[in-house]
Structure 1
Amino acid sequence: MTRQAVNLSLIGTTRDRALDGLRGIAALMVFFSHVAMMTWFPREGGAAPNDLEYAMWHLGAPAVDLFFVLSGYVLAASLEGVKIDGATIGSFLARRWVRLMPVAWVGVALGLAVRTLIVPMQQDPLVGMINMDQPLRWQDWVGFITFTFPMPDTDRFNVPLWTLVMEMYASFLIPVTVAGVRKKGRLFLLPAFTSWIILWYVSGRLEFMTLPLFVLGVAVRVYAADLPRKSLKVALMIGLLLVFSRYLLDVLHVWQRYVSGVGAALLILAVRGGAARAFLTCAPVGWLGKISYPFYAVHFPLVVASSILLSAKGVGSTLAAMMALPVALAVAEVVHRTIEQLSIRTSRRMAWKGKSLAGQRLPKRLRPLEHFHEER
């Protein structure tokens, strides 16, 4: 397809049900990590974990790394055929904000309710609560609304929502990166990757060290060809080993995130080629992928509430936290059917101010954000 013959109907049609399933599995991994976090967290201490708790805790960070790489990949794909300029980026940011924020605010509301009503009831402080009993600052209240600036301390109300702040920053980063690749060539990805590492060092914000993972996802989209069919299982196995290398090698260094990021890239390539497709597209995993974003947004306050309320009745800490799973899935389904679907429809109705690479104005209802990964 030449640049002059871009078919506008094809723009944004990058949805892959297998990648949705991968997203759902990653969301479940984060849940199990937070279950283990109720009794043990490396930087906070707590009782020594048993083997199961230790393994569950190590599921969280690799899952988030996978989310970020997958987000870069999918959003770069959604911009194919679209001319990127100031109007495009502004429209892209506005639609992303409308798409993401309503569900994020549900997570905020649940976190505020739990810290106000249930956290004061605890008898023994939970390790995984981190700062949920700390007072909220003005920047937290403003950050609840914007999820950009100022950056809220999500540890004080709903820990995993920090990733949504990174997603909003990446909403600017990804179009700029794609535009740079088109103008300067694929080697532009190297300075893009390193510049965000430099920002991490200069700012001192540990969260920023995850931004290069979005660039890695863009690189997978613009660089990588389809893997040979015979190599798919090998790529899948190597990807899994790299993703879980933090646990396998017992290494907690922050640079390990880039190792698991490379593993996530291999997983995406393998799944795109057809590896594990039957499992990832089966009905239960597909449903989990469908509700993965609201599930990610609401599960942590429910884990904290379940841990406090059931532990007070003599239920073991890990089991008490685990019993939040059916509640979190049910709440996620309700949020998906109501608030998330409404935000999707609203973002689709917003005027898309971009043009195709052929200079044609894009239809108002074009949906380049339809395939945003629903994490977190």
Structure 2
Amino acid sequence: MNTKKIWNILIVIAVIALVVWKLVANKQEIDEVAQRSLLINPTVPVRVDKVKYLDLSSDIYVDGRISAGNEVTLYSKVQGIVLKKYKKAGDKVSKGTPIAQAENSVIKETLGLAEMNLANAAVDVERYKKLADAGAVTQREYESILIAYRESQRNIAELKDQLANTILTSPVSGILETDYFEEGTLLSPGSQVADFVDPSHLKAVVNITENEVYRTKKGDKASLTTDVLPDYTFSGIVDVIASKGNDLLSYQVEIAVNDKNAGMLKPGMYVSAKLLTGETSTTKELVIERKAIIESLKNAEVYVVKDNKAHKQKITIGKIYDNYVTVTAGLNPDDKVVTSGQINLVDGRDIEITNK
């Protein structure tokens, strides 16, 4: 091995040694800072609560969105160009309010000709009736003329319907939510014209689990809250429960909002719903406050107080009841768990209980 390679190896070894020394020094410095912190703040103030048995309500808590109770889409029944647009998106409308006029000149002309044909057919019916009574024509010939007359009547009725349908009107009272046309738009039968919502009848749409659906029934009371209106709680009632679950094994529930302040809610708002099932636990359950958990609910951990020290403890939770969770493993009755101040704790840290 030549001298140059030896020097390169020695340089690499020296760099590695320097890095290791620096890391060790940093670790020692961190430990010293931690020790000084412990000396300056030997205890951490915390609030605690006992693990206990409680009778808990089985009310269901779930999030959802506000939707209009009546949402209707208007489709064109005729073919023609829009001549006049009377209403636009965002306008308030009443049931039957005209929102657009489609061309109708061809229909009017066809209707005029049909009415003339009907008048002629009426004359023929009268004439053939007299001839049939006199035996000048057969009864079959008279009936053929009568059938033609009735066909003309049906044709006129259809044309009048088509003429009326050239005036597109709102199917409900409410708000014209979205329009899909402008003046000059060519409509065809079945084409989408506009969407309407009736904000006077609102509902909250939520999804509940397969376990919760068996505890929910139509007519159950509910309460709704939203971050947009934090000072209000809105009352509601379970109106519809899906009979079939979706791919996520959840069931859609519609809650009719029957609160006097329902007008403050808007379709599309996110809400938190509380379904009041009226049931209670058949047995007392071991619970802790939800805020005691320092990790996720799936990997739940708490700080348990023993000998004025906080010890981190893994637990297994069961049901979730608003501010409480049930504990199925990891804790015993009367254990004390930290509910406030966890952010300043490490495993084994001395603590001072402030809510003795």
Range into which the TM-score falls when normalised by the shorter chain:
under 0.3
Decide which structure has the larger Cα Rg and report it.
Answer: 2
Higher helix proportion, which one? Answer: 1
Q: Hey, which of these two has a bigger chunk of strand by percent?
A: 2
Higher relative contact order (CA 8 A, sep 6+): 1
Normalised TM-score (structure 1): 0.19
